Structure 1
């Protein structure tokens, strides 16, 4: 399969993620707490919790912090009760935007998200208006020059769903969402280390934005991501530098 050229955009996104690491512990603690509350504190029977804990360990979160977050989720420790909320809408040029939040006050959160959409030319829509355009999955991206045949064999054997070669030579490995860590670790043992990877809501179709449209879309995403209650922002927009 072929996709459009995206390596520069991938590097740009990686840099932006690195710059936001100050908020990562707060987001991960919320996710661990909610995952434990919904599915219990045993990672062997709660794939969402296992994924959240794996991410926390990757970010070098102290084990005590992880343990306390799990116990707050299971009710062994007191703590704030967070609710999940997903808001959907449209950005510049009709690009789909999906915003996942964990909040203790939905009234505040929906107002903040709606304000961010409207300030930079977007529109918040109704539930389900863009969700069908995304697929819940894991992804791993490998640099141009990676041996396509070798990584395809290794990835599919590890349990990946698909391997996509982009026009610029970068390779994407798509995984089931809760098999992401296993597939990545298996590939690393086989000698393939991804440049970037995560569990995401992957857009089925993308809209490439350039110039002023790209700048406006980036401001919209940045404002939404800066909100305290926002965990993740997904969009079908590809913002070209």
Structure 2
């Protein structure tokens, strides 16, 4: 991602994350269940599950609720068979959109996702149409003027790929398999990150502004409102975003 727009998009992502935090429990439970089903119920041996549990605890989910979701995913409790599925498409101005879902009913999910695209100036595409534009990474972002040298020393020693900064904002980038170890090292050092998550980062961007940017944001909001949608990624660069 290019310089300024990268940081503008990180700020946009943080604002979107803050806005949806209050209604995240259903999605967090699905993520815990899917993570346990795929990688097992031992969080120490399953980095994705560990990350999902950390997010749930940060959202003040109770341990009992977390434990039930883990057991359901690992097969120790009965429950609906939740599967992962990813949809790809295009938003206004041809921006690439990647939609990650967890669902017990694929027909319902694809219908709702298709409707959201159509209603907000986009269209659902075929498998593989935009996925090649994205790379999965770990992103750990600090936004309150932490000591960059301290963050860099801790992160790189724990296996981070890169540390970048602009103003008061610092981003630590990791490979997916190194994310938990780096995040834990940062936590153990007493540092608090504003964003700590696995994301799909675009290799190229499509700049949108004005009405087009507003339409893209409405599409993202509409998709994120769907119960089965876990996350939405786009290569839109919001020109003029602060």
Unaligned 5+ segments in structure 2 are none
State the shift of 1:192 in Å: 4.5
| Superposition map of 1:1-16 within 5 A | 3-7=3-7, 9-16=9-16
**Equivalence for 1:105:** 105
Q: CA RMSD for the aligned pairs?
A: 2.4
**Equivalence for 1:74:** 74
Does the 8 A contact of 1:3 with 1:164 survive in 2? no
Q: TM-score, normalised by structure 1?
A: 0.88
**Equivalence for 2:204:** 205
Unaligned 5+ segments in structure 1 are none
2-structure distance, mates of 1:151, 1:123 = 41
**Equivalence for 2:185:** 186
Matched residue count = 240
* Stretch deviating more after TM superposition (178-187 or 141-150): 141-150
2-structure distance, mates of 1:208, 1:184 = 31
2-structure distance, mates of 1:235, 1:96 = 5
SS in 1 for 2:24: helix
* Stretch deviating more after TM superposition (128-137 or 152-161): 152-161
2-structure distance, mates of 1:21, 1:148 = 27
Q: TM-score, normalised by structure 2?
A: 0.88
| Superposition map of 1:114-133 within 5 A | 114-133=114-133
1-structure distance, mates of 2:3, 2:15 = 22
Does the 8 A contact of 2:47 with 2:180 survive in 1? no
State the shift of 1:208 in Å: 3.0
**Equivalence for 2:237:** 238
Inter-CA distance 163–81: structure 2 relative to 1 (3 Å threshold): same
